[in-house]
Homo-oligomer: A and B are copies of this chain.
Amino acid sequence: MAEIGVGLVGYKFMGRAHSNAYRQLPRFFDVDPAPRMAAICGRDEAGVREAADTLGWESYETDYRELIARDDVGLVDVVTPGNTHREIVLAALEAGKHVICEKPLANTLAEAKEMVTAARESGTVNTVCFNYRRAPAVQLAKKLVDEGRLGTIRHWRATYLQDFIMDSQFPLIWRLKKELAGSGALGDIGAHIIDLSQFLLGGISEVVGMMETFVKERPLEEGGAETGEVTVDDAAAFLARFESGAVGTFEATRFAAGRRNKNAFEINGSKGSVAFDLERMNELEVFFVDDAADVQGFRTVNVTGPEHPYAGAWWPPGHIIGYEHTFVHTMKDLMYGIKTGRSPAPDFEDAYRCQAVLDAVERSAGGGGWTRPEYGGI
């Protein structure tokens, strides 16, 4: 079986999730090429050496340029904070490597545009890790939409609710600084529901939105007395019109007490509806208008059967999978993309379109009223 050497840049939360995906992939799926975990890269040598060992990488690098230069690395995986994506990705593309980049693609639309252009010129395979697309229940929703089983889609409503920074003493981590993170709840979790909407309903034509920062000063360090300004949004919400004629609502917040990770959406079509909630990610709620009148109701489909996307590779029906499996599925499709030379969706262009919506929401929230995403740039 063919192999492709992977070089991973970054080794924290996302580094652990991606590493797990490469390790697990060939154990549950037939893939060709199979990923070889060639090297992991981080600037702190002690940290990256330990990560290499714990996460199962053959070697490590402390300079991403070295990593990219290695002959045994054919795929570069970028999981660093958003402000560094552009530089690393452009270098990897320049070197003719395939690239998978964490979301959001970049912190600004201009950066994203540059990356799309570079990706086109390189001719290699590129993708962005919007992993929730590959939850089996989300794939089932997509199948129902594509097969017309929900009819004409009229409504999208999505929320991504978390509560991990509600305590005003929670420190000013990098995710709360605009220069590093680009935006707050909007770009971090709002990006996921934008991507899901574009996956399931297609393009967004215009938006109107708002953003809010509830806690404006935070300690620089946990328990510390010195504080700094929070420069990103704690919460964001927007209305949207889709190119298809559907209408949508979106909300992302880190201040929804009790909602640990509620990435939830509902789609209403002329023939049926679906509803998803990541906290119960093995389930999809499905309704059909044409069911017999006396037994109509939302079905709680346990999406773990052999007839469901990806699920058959794991365990028997009713034996659920978890969060990290969505990354395994992402890597599975990436391997197929590398084999066939076709970038798996969402590719950089798809991610640019997500970025354009983020950008439009920010412009709208800044006083712009209804605002059109700038897709034209690419």
A163 CB to closest chain B CB (Å) equals 8
Which listed residue (B20, B272, B278) contacts A27, Cβ 8 A? B20
Contacts of A321 in B (CB 8 A): 322-323
Count copies of this chain in the complex: 4
How many positions in chain A have a CB within 8 Å of any CB in the partner chain?
93
Q: Are A317 and B261 in contact (CB under 8 A)?
A: yes
- Give the complex CA separation of A261 and B282 in angstroms: 13
Closest 7 CB pairs of A and B: A261-B318, A260-B318, A258-B287, A369-B369, A297-B299, A297-B301, A322-B322
A124 CB to closest chain B CB (Å) equals 29
A238-273 vs B, Cβ < 8 Å mask (1 yes, 0 no): 110100000101010101111111100010111111
Q: Are B369 and A166 in contact (CB under 8 A)?
A: no
Contacts of A19 in B (CB 8 A): 27
A97 CB to closest chain B CB (Å) equals 26
- Give the complex CA separation of A321 and B253 in angstroms: 23
Q: Are A320 and B239 in contact (CB under 8 A)?
A: no
Between-chain CB contacts (< 8 Å), 27 pairs? A17-B315, A23-B23, A26-B54, A27-B55, A150-B257, A154-B235, A154-B253, A162-B318, A163-B268, A235-B247, A256-B273, A257-B289, A258-B298, A259-B318, A262-B318, A279-B282, A281-B320, A284-B297, A286-B295, A288-B295, A295-B299, A297-B301, A300-B300, A315-B324, A319-B323, A320-B320, A321-B322
- The answer to whether residues A166 and B289 also contact, given A239-B238, A262-B318 and a CB cut-off of 8 A, is yes
Interface secondary structure of A, over-half rule:
mixed
Contacts of A295 in B (CB 8 A): 140, 144, 286, 288, 299, 301
Q: Are A210 and B239 in contact (CB under 8 A)?
A: yes
A307 interfacial by beta-carbon distance below 8 Å: yes
Q: Are A296 and B287 in contact (CB under 8 A)?
A: no
Q: Which B-chain residue is minimally distant from A238 (CB atoms)?
A: B239
A162 CB to closest chain B CB (Å) equals 7
Q: Which B-chain residue is minimally distant from A56 (CB atoms)?
A: B27
Contacts of A226 in B (CB 8 A): none
Q: Which B-chain residue is minimally distant from A287 (CB atoms)?
A: B258
A170 interfacial by beta-carbon distance below 8 Å: no
Contacts of A55 in B (CB 8 A): 27
